[in-house]
Structure 1
Amino acid sequence: MNKQQVLDYIQANNIHHIKFAFADIDGILRGKVIHVKKFEEGLDSGYGFCDVVFGWDSADALYDNTSFTGWHTGYPDQPCRIDLSTLRTIPWQDNIPFFIADYSGVDTTDVPCPRTLLKHVAKQCEDMGFHSEFAQEFEWFNFNESPKSLAQKSFTNIEPLSPGMFGYSILRSSQHSAFYYDLINLLEQFNIPIEGIHTETGPGVYEAAIIHDHVLAAADKAALLKNAVKEIASKHGIMASFMAKWNESLPGCSGHIHQSLWSMDKLQNLFFNPEDELNMSDTMKHYLAGQLYCLPHIVPMYAPTVNSYKRLVEGAWAPTTITWGINNRTAAIRILNQSEKYARVETRIPGADANPYLALAAALASGLYGIKHKLPLTTPPTTGNGYADKANGIIPSNLYEAASAMKASSVAKELFGESFTEHFVNTRFWEWRQFAKHVTDWELKRYFEII
Structure 2
Amino acid sequence: MPAPKKEVRPSKAGGRTRVPTFVKSLRGVKNWKEAAEWLEWRGIEDIECITPDQAGVARGKMMPSSKFTSNTSLALPSAVFMMTISGDYPEDGNGFAYPEDDGDLKLVPDLSTLTAVPWEEDPTAQVICDLVHQDGRSVEFTPRNVLKRVVEAYEAKGLKPVVAPEIEFYLVRKNPDPDYPLTPPVGRSGRPIGGGAGYSIAGVNEFDELIDDIYHFSENQGLEIDTLIHEEGAGQLEINLRHGDPIELADQVFLFKRTIREAALKHDTYATFMAKPIQGQPGSAMHIHQSIIDRKTGKNVFSSPNGDETETFFNFIGGMQRHVPNALVMFAPYVNSYRRLTQAASAPVNNKWGYDNRTTAFRVPRSDPAARRVENRIPSSDANPYLALAASLACGLIGITKGIKPDAPILTTANEAEIDLPRGLLEAVDLFEHDEELRTILGEPFVTTYAAIKRAEFETFMEVISPWEREYLLLNV
- What are the superposed Cα offsets for residues 383-420 of structure 1, whole Å, 9 maximum, x if unpaired? 11111345xx7011101111111122212212212221
**How many residues were matched structurally?**
439
1:42/1:160 Cα in 2 relative to 1: closer, same or farther (>3 Å)?
farther
Q: Which one of the candidate residues 109, 124, 137 is aligned to 1:96?
A: 124
Question: CA–CA distance in 2 between the matches of 1:85 and 1:297?
Answer: 34
Query: Whole-Å Cα distance in 2 between the matches of residues 403 and 169 of structure 1?
Result: 38
1:64 maps to amino acid? E
Contact 1:52 1:69 in 2 (8 A): no
**Quick one: distance in 2 between partners of 1:398 and 1:280?**
35
Secondary structure of the equivalent of 1:117?
A: helix
For residues 160 and 31 of structure 1, the distance between their equivalents in structure 2, rounded to whole angstroms, comes to 32
Match of 2:287 in 1: 256
Q: Which amino acid aligns with 1:284?
A: F
The answer to whether structure 1 residue 56 and structure 2 residue 83 are counterparts is yes
| Map of 2:467 onto structure 1 | 441
CA distance in 2, matches of 1:297, 1:135: 23
- Which residue of 1 is the match for residue 223 of structure 2? 192
* CA deviation profile, 1:236-268 (whole Å, cap 9, x unmatched): 111001000012311000011111111326742
Do the aligned partners of 1:141 and 1:160 also contact (CA within 8 Å) in 2? no
Assess, with a 3 A threshold, how the Cα gap between structure 1 residues 346 and 14 changes in structure 2: closer, same or farther: same
CA–CA separation in structure 1 for the residues paired with 2:241 and 2:143: 20
Using the TM superposition, name which of 60-69 and 27-36 deviates more.
60-69
Q: Supply the AA of the counterpart residue of 1:231.
A: E
C-alpha displacement of 1:323: 0.5
Spell out the pairing of 1:284-323 with structure 2 (5 A cutoff): 284-323=313-352
> Does the 8 Å CA contact 2:343/2:416 hold for their aligned counterparts?
no
Distance 1:42 1:283, change over 3 A: farther
Q: Any conservation in 1 of the 2:89–2:453 contact (CA below 8 Å)?
A: no
User: Equivalent residue of 1:256, what SS?
Assistant: strand
Q: Distance in 1 between matches of 2:208 and 2:313?
A: 41
Q: Of the candidates 230, 241, 256, which is equivalent to residue 261 of structure 2?
A: 230
Q: After the TM superposition, which residues 14-25 of structure 1 pair with which residues of structure 2 at under 5 Å, given as runs?
A: 14-25=43-54
8 Å Cα contact 2:184/2:194 also seen in 1: no
Contact map agreement 2:48 2:60 (CA 8 A) in 1: yes
2:271 to 227, 240, 259: 240
> Which range moves more in the overlay, 13-22 or 236-245?
13-22
Indicate how the Cα distance of structure 1 residues 210 and 42 shifts in structure 2: closer, same or farther if over 3 A, else same: farther
- Summarize the alignment of residues 81-120 of structure 1 with structure 2, pairs less than 5 Å apart: 81-94=108-121, 95-104=123-132, 107=135, 110=139, 112-120=141-149
Give 2:45's aligned amino acid: H
Q: Which amino acid aligns with 1:427?
A: I
Aligned-residue offset at 1:62: 2.6
Task: Report what 2:65 is aligned to.
Answer: 36
Aligned counterparts, 1:92-241, within 5 A:
92-94=119-121, 95-104=123-132, 107=135, 110=139, 112-145=141-174, 150-152=175-177, 154-156=179-181, 158-161=183-186, 162-165=192-195, 166-241=197-272
Specify the SS of the correspondent of 1:222: helix
Q: Look up the SS of the partner of 1:346 in the other structure.
A: strand
Residues 79 and 119 of structure 1: CA distance in aligned 2, closer, same or farther (over 3 Å): same
Pick closer, same or farther for the CA change 1:389–1:440 going to 2, 3 Å.
closer
Deviations, residues 280-308 of structure 1 (Å, cap 9, x unaligned): 22221111111112123211111111111
The 8 Å contact of residues 280 and 337 in structure 1, kept in 2 or not, is answered as no
Which of residues 416, 426, 437 is equivalent to 2:452? 426
* Mapped contact 1:65–1:430 kept (Cα < 8 A): no
Structure 1 residues 96, 303: CA separation in 2 closer, same or farther (over 3 Å shift)? same
| Matches of 1:12 and 1:225, distance apart in 2 | 25
> Which residue is equivalent to 1:388?
416
The alignment-based identity, stated in percent, is 29
Do the aligned residues in 1 keep the contact of 2:140 with 2:146 (CA within 8 Å)?
no
State the match for 2:32 in structure 1: 3
- Report which of the two structures shows the higher radius of gyration computed on alpha carbons: 2
Shift of 1:171: 1.4
Which residues of structure 2 form unaligned runs of 5+? 1-29, 187-191
Q: Give the 3 Å change call, closer, same or farther, for CA 266–351 of structure 1 in structure 2.
A: farther
Quote the offset at 1:436 in angstroms.
2.0
Partner letter of residue 373 of structure 2?
Answer: R
Query: Structure 1 residues 14 and 207, CA, compared in 2 at 3 Å: closer, same or farther?
Result: closer
TM-score under structure 2 normalisation? 0.87
Name the amino acid aligned to 2:330. M
Structure 1 gap segments, 5+ residues each: none
Equivalent in the alignment of 1:360:
389
- Alignment partner for residue 347 of structure 1, among 376, 385, 410? 376
Mapped contact 2:91–2:452 kept (Cα < 8 A) = no
**CA-atom RMSD in angstroms:** 2.2
Residue 106 (structure 1) shift = 5.8
Quick check: 1:47 aligned with 2:74? Answer: yes
How far the C-alpha of 1:60 sits from its partner, in A, is 1.3
Q: How far, CA to CA, are the matches of 2:97 and 2:53 in structure 1?
A: 14
Question: How far 1:64 moved relative to its partner?
Answer: 2.6
The one-letter code matched in structure 1 to 2:224 is P
| Partners of 1:51 and 1:69 within 8 A in 2 | no
Cα distance per residue 1:94-151 (max 9 Å; x no partner): 5522111121486267452000111111111112111211111111110121xxxx23
Structure 1 residue 443 displacement after superposition: 0.5
Given that 1:26 and 1:354 are in contact with CA atoms closer than 8 Å, whether structure 2 keeps it comes out as yes
